[in-house]
Structure 1
Amino acid sequence: MSFHIQRLDTFGGHRDSVFTLISSAQPDHFFSAGADGQVADWDMARPDLGSLVAQIPASVYALARDPGSGLLWVGQNYEGLQFIDPEARTVAGSLKLTTTAIFDIQLYRQTAFVALADGVVVVLDVPTRAVRKYVKASDKSARCVAINPVEREVAVGYSDHRIRLFDMNTLELKQTLEGATNSVFALTYSPDFRHMLAGGRDAHLRSWDVEANYRPDADIVAHMYTINHMAYSPDGQWLATVSMDKTVKIWDADSLRLRKVVDRARYGGHSTSVNKVLWLSNTQFATASDDRTVAVWAIDGF
């Protein structure tokens, strides 16, 4: 089965690196944020007309959207969390959570997990924004969080090269996974939650069999440099990885066989590090880069 990838649009307007992307409640919209502190709302139909939702006075590495309230949770570098109403474009609140960088925010039902540069994962109650617990398992940065509702586990990747698994209810440490030789920047579970995948500074794509007590089942030299992020397509057919080596790679989700390398020479890809990937549908995805742009891509020709 062959397919083609084409670049549909380029979304420009950020004045510095774009670090993060999240989906919107509005169809065909998504949000971006980065080093310029701008949180932007983009309409797929009008790539030239991005709108500013908020101007944060620091770099933004992490965004999340609470489907219940509709608020955006914005991780302000060295300032904690700010809560933005994207419709009214107003600040609905803030939380002075930390004086260190926030690298990831993951919401699951009524609980938020916030990964900090000092190694702490802050667990918050979403409706009240009250802190439930500070989880400190490393002195190195907590870089990424993935949630497995089937096993009731929370996986956290750290800059000490390890992945730690916590019980979602008690937040007790259940298991520590070795294998990475440098910082773990990206974690995700497969759509059926039978596998957990990780990537990071050592450029390897690794997979663990969750049902076999996280037995390692794949270790692929996937990129030339750091894997910054990865995500499955909504239908679970594809896995996209993005890297500091300026490429986006599309893998068959089941076999982890490489299917396409999206680079600058062949596809007009990004000119610098690709930091984030967001699937917009089964056949379209967006990528954010240090080159200050967001690109939207289409897969066709099945």
Structure 2
Amino acid sequence: MADHDAVHGTAAASADDFGRRLAVFAADLKALRIERGNLPLREIARRAPRHRPLSAAAVSEALNGKRLPRLDFLMALVRTLLAHDHEGRPYPHGRDDPGLEVWRTRWRDLELLRTARPPAARRPATPKPDPGPPVPAPCVAATSPAPPRLLFGEQSCGARFLAFSPDGELLATVNDDLLVRLWHAATGEPAAVPLTGHTDGVRCVAFSPDGRLLATAGRDRTVRLWDPRTGSPVGEPFAENGTTLWALAFSPDGNLLATGGHDRTVRLWDRVTGKPVDAPLRGHTGGVEAVAFSPNGRLLASAGADATVRLWRADDGKPEGEPLIGHTSEIRSLAFSPDSLLLASGGWDGMVRLWDPCAGEPVGGPLTGHRNAVRGLSFAPDGRLLVSVSMDRTVRFWDPVSHGPLGPPFTRHACSFRAVGFSPDGRFVAAGGDDKPVGLWATADLAEIPVRGS
């Protein structure tokens, strides 16, 4: 390959340096394409993995260095090019093949350099408004809201999962690549250089209740702990017995971590020792894609590809009642209300459902309106508002008591949303997805009339 130099992202890194290294990177991709038979773009697209389609146009952009592709796109492209030997015979490469690691490393170094370019090298971000005094309760417009003020710049580059720190000062985002990013929530500016250590895509992130730890997990099958104030790793990674991790949550007391993943189990970990607590929780018949503890610490909810929600006693891991059935396809998101009396679930069927976790029963009918998978849910800190985001590119607000929508949905930059969260004080809503910048909006900017009871 033409360039194996490590790239260290610093505030002094120039746009010219990034452009030069991106061009070298693209040239090496072209060389790999030629080496593997110089396949036509349409043939590359045809051979792409079913789980990660590659369009001919996007492959052309990557090969010509138009922009740095997402990590999952790059790895699918490289694996496709390597999938046959020089004579065209199948030669599959697994995700852990050592030959792929150099591409992951080079992507990480380029991404660090890209995000470390000085402000003059980036498109100017929207001016950051003064957030003003706290508002007593989240509000939403009864009619179509004006476009909210976007507080984050382009360097945020999307989010598949996000989490606010308990004090509301930081926002952590991960985007299924190798980096964990921290932002100042009030300004949208980076709070630190991206955290590195994972060797494959990071899928989920969570702050401990006291804010002293940040936990991350993903495709490299490990849970890692960080000090969010310094960006330093804390202890050794937790091994997850060879399964990709899709979901992560801290217990309210901060002593336990729950994970869910491809192996259809939920695991509980002692956050201090990094050791599993008892045996895995079994019952799901498909991968576990969402986990959530009730705020009162009594229950743990899990859901995933089998379209069911399961409840477990958090103290001993025993099942609590029968599975909650109602969704018609896999469930991607869960959220408890602050009083623990409601559980919301969002699925690939485009529906949001509310459950009584104590009775194990649905509460009313489904909340309908989304036209694609619901990927993120969050209750406002006072419990009077539920927000959902979807791959239909909309953000919707709901009254969890009347089950009605609060105002019409809004959208931004044709972004397929995958993550959403209220700040701890309820003043902001953050949403992200795809490769678009993370949006952080003041809830007051969405308001014309207050929600029920304010």
- Under a length normalisation based on structure 2, what TM-score does the superposition of the two structures give? 0.61
**CA distance in structure 1 between the partners assigned to 2:301 and 2:186 by the alignment:** 36
Pair 50,270 (structure 1): closer, same or farther in 2 beyond 3 Å: farther
- Structure 2 residue 290 is the aligned partner of structure 1 residue 144: yes
Are the counterparts in 2 of residues 115 and 121 from structure 1 also a CA contact under 8 Å? yes
Measure the CA separation in 1 of the matches of 2:211 and 2:394.
35
Aligned position for 1:100: 243
The structure 1 segments of at least 4 consecutive aligned residues displaced by more than 6 Å after TM superposition are none
Is it true that 1:36 corresponds to 2:182 in the alignment?
no
Residue identity matched to 1:44: A
**Structure 2 counterparts to residues 126-275 of structure 1, below 5 A:** 126-132=271-277, 133-148=279-294, 150=296, 152-174=298-320, 175-264=322-411, 269-275=412-418
Does the 8 Å contact 2:238/2:275 carry over to 1?
Answer: no
Residue 14 of structure 1 contacts residue 38 of structure 1 at CA under 8 Å; is this kept in 2?
Answer: no
SS of the aligned residue for 2:375 comes to strand
Aligned-pair distance for 1:270? 4.0
SS at match of 1:282: coil
Q: Which one of the candidate residues 14, 22, 29 is aligned to 2:163? A: 22
The answer for the alignment partner of 1:62 in structure 2 is 204
| Aligned counterparts of 1:250 and 1:35: Cα–Cα separation in 2 | 26
Greater RCO, 1 or 2 (C-alpha within 8 Å, sep 6+): 1
- Find the counterpart in structure 2 of residue 83 from structure 1: 225
User: 1:215: how far off?
Assistant: 4.1
**CA–CA separation in structure 1 for the residues paired with 2:439 and 2:390:** 14
Distance 1:228 1:270, change over 3 A: farther
116-125 or 84-93, which deviates more? 84-93
Across the two proteins, how many residue pairs are aligned to each other? Answer: 297
Q: Deviations over 1:68-98 (max 9, x none)?
A: 5712111031331112222222222212214
- In 2, the alpha carbon distance for the partners of 1:134 and 1:216 equals 29
In structure 2, the CA distance between the partners of 1:125 and 1:177, relative to structure 1 (3 Å rule), is same
1:200/1:296 Cα in 2 relative to 1: closer, same or farther (>3 Å)? same
Task: Provide, for residues 136-178 of structure 1, a one-character-per-residue CA deviation record: whole Å limited to 9, x for no partner.
Answer: 2124111111223558222111211111111222212232111
Q: CA RMSD in A?
A: 2.3
Q: Which runs of 5+ in 2 are unaligned?
A: 1-138, 450-454
1:52 and 1:193, CA in 2 relative to 1: closer, same or farther beyond 3 A? same
Q: Check whether the contact 1:157–1:184 (CA below 8 A) recurs between aligned residues.
A: yes
Report the identity percentage: 22
- 1: CA distance, partners of 2:345 / 2:223: 26
**Within 2, Cα distance between the matches of 1:113 and 1:170?**
13
Q: Corresponding residue for 2:268? A: 123
How many Å apart are 1:205 and its aligned residue?
Answer: 1.2
1 or 2, which has the higher helix percentage?
A: 2
SS in 2 for 1:277: strand
| Higher mean C-alpha deviation, range 19-28 or range 130-139 | 19-28
- For the 8 Å contact 2:151–2:187, the answer to whether it is kept is no
Q: What whole-Å deviation, never above 9, does each CA across 1:31-87 have from its counterpart, x for those lacking one?
A: 111123221111134434453240233211111122457121110313311122222
Q: Judge conservation of contact 1:271–1:291 (CA < 8 Å) in 2.
A: no
- Look up the equivalent residue of 1:10 and give its one-letter code: F
